[in-house]
Every structure is written in C-alpha cells, then in structure tokens.
Amino acid sequence: MSVIAYGAARASLKSSGALLNRNWVAMRRAWILIISGAVESLLFLFAFGFGVGALVGDITLPDGTTISYTAYVAPAILANAAMMGVLAETSINVFAKFKWMKVYDGILATPLRPWDVALGEVWWALIRGGTYIAAFVVVMGAFGLLDSWWSLLAVPACVFIALAFAGIGLTLATLFRDWPDFDWMNAVVFAMFLFGGTFTPVEAYPAFAQPIVYIMPLYHGIELVRGLSLGQLGPMMFVHIAYLMALCLAGMWIAQKRLAKALYK
C-alpha cells in the first residue's frame, strides 16, 4: 500500500509540475507584476517602519524588552506580505483563469485532475510569494532589523504562512461569483493587517477586543515571524505553528473539494 501511495504522490507532483510550468511560461514576460508585489511591501516598511518609527522611537514589549518601533513593525509587514502574495495569486488570479480565461477547461481535458490543479497553483503562489519574502528579508538585514540567527527562519516561516492561506484563497476563488465579491476579502484582510498586532501589542487593545485578535490567522503569523526575527522564542510559538498547520490542512482539503465541484459542474 505504501508503494501505491508513493506512486500516486509522485504522479500528482509530476502533474502539478506541468501546471507550474504552464504558469511560468504565461508569466515570464510579466516580470513587472512580480517586482510590483515586492515593492508594495517595502513601501509599507518605509512608510510605517521608518516614517512612523522616527516619531515613535523605541517601544517596550509586554515582557519588558525595549526595541525600536521599526524592528517591531518590520516582521509584521513581512508576515502580511506572505499572506497577501499567496491570497492574490490563489484567489483573484485563479478566479480569472476559472471564470474569465477558461484556462482549466482545456487543462481538465488532459490527465490532470482538480487536486493536481490545486497543488500546481499553490506551488506557483509559493514560488512567486517567496520572491517577495526574500527581497523583504534582504532589506531587513541591510537595515539591521534581524537581531538574531533565529531570524533566518523567518523565510521558511513566511512560506509556511503563505501555505496556510493558500487553501483559503483557492476556496474563495470557487465561492465568489463576481469581481465585487473580492471587496469582502480585501476588507477582512485589511482589518487583520490593521488590528492583528501589526502596529501595537495586542495587550494594548481593550479587553473585549483581544479575543477577536487572537483568533485572526494573521495574528499567529505575525507573532511567529516576530518571535523568530527578534530571537524571542517561547511555548506560544508552538501554538502559532499548530494554528497555522490546522488552517493549512483544513483549507487545502476544503479547496480541493470545492475546486472539483466547480470544475466538473
């Protein structure tokens, strides 16, 4: 049985690789889109991290540690970039291929199946988002915002965050019916960015609002990347990892079910 499972997994990876290659060929001349995605996050860093940081100065964390406001905000913007990159690719772009470009109609005439399509789109989203993450981390290092060797793990942590949101993006691509529906997604994403612990510790929020922040997926991503970037490791790191892992598994399971139903409708 294990040999059969291994063979099936290998075949699925090969099939999803075909879709990955298709996306590469289609996007290789649209390099400006990839660059713009990386620049957007860097603009957030310069505006909020360095701009507002110059006014705020240093802040004291709940554990008594004092750090610069820029060092506090930068990991949060990095986690947000990981989320936004994969959400845009797996929701908006997949929706366009599905509803408008009809790309998958031709793909399903080949041996590829919905799971292969989902996996291929996730691989592509992770590769594209990884370029944003890598560029951002290089800038953080250039400005001395990586205070520990543990901060090197911020890159795989952000890829993990992107993977956690990939299933959500694919699911939304099958649930939404028209372009205005994405305004709801953007509203929720923007709310998480503003109130998910990006700019101030959650402990500074009113008591009634704190439980709402704790259930936000982005909050756990921010705390994971921030803890690694600042070298502040603790038991809560495992909670953040477990939350994101559960989100990843549940999201991908639901996404492939929804995608199969939508593509074979």
Report d(CA 200, CA 194) in Å as an integer. Answer: 9
Q: What is the model's pLDDT at position 7?
A: 43
Q: What is the model's pLDDT at position 107?
A: 76
Q: How does 150-180 read in b/e, with b if 16+ C-beta sit within 10 Å?
A: bbebbbebbbbbbbbbbbbbbbbbbebeeee
Q: What is the model's pLDDT at position 8?
A: 43
* Total domains present in the chain: 1
Report d(CA 83, CA 218) in Å as an integer. Answer: 8
Q: What one-character-per-residue DSSP string does the chain give?
A: -HHHHHHHHHHHHHHHHHHHHHHHHHHTT-HHHHHHHHHHHHHHIIIIIIIIHHHH-EEE-TTS-EEEHHHHHHHHHHHHHHHHHHHIIIIIIHHIIIIIS-HHHHHTTSS--HHHHHHHHHHHHHHHHHHHHHHHHHHHHHTT---SGGGGGHHHHHHHHHHHHHHHHHHHHHH--SGGGHHHHHHHHHHHHHHSSSSS-GGGS-TTTHHHHHT-HHHHHHHHHHHHHHT---THHHHHHHHHHHHHHHHHHHHHHHHHHHHT-
Report d(CA 46, CA 66) in Å as an integer. Answer: 21
Angle ∠(257,240,138) on CA atoms, nearest 5: 95
Which tokens sit at 81? 């970039």
Which tokens sit at 19? 């879709």
Q: What is the model's pLDDT at position 15?
A: 62
Single pTM value for the model: 0.84
> Which range marks the domain in which residue 93 is found?
2-263
Tens digit of pLDDT at every position of the chain (265 positions): 454 433 444 545 556 666 667 777 767 666 666 666 667 777 777 787 777 777 888 888 777 778 888 888 888 988 998 898 888 888 888 888 888 878 777 777 777 777 788 888 888 888 888 887 888 888 877 777 776 677 778 888 998 999 999 989 989 988 888 888 889 999 999 999 989 888 888 888 899 999 999 999 999 999 999 988 887 778 889 999 999 999 999 988 888 888 777 776 6
8 A C-beta contact, residue 46 and residue 184 = no
8 A C-beta contact, residue 195 and residue 112 = no
- Least Cα distance to 38 among 201, 156, 158 occurs for 158
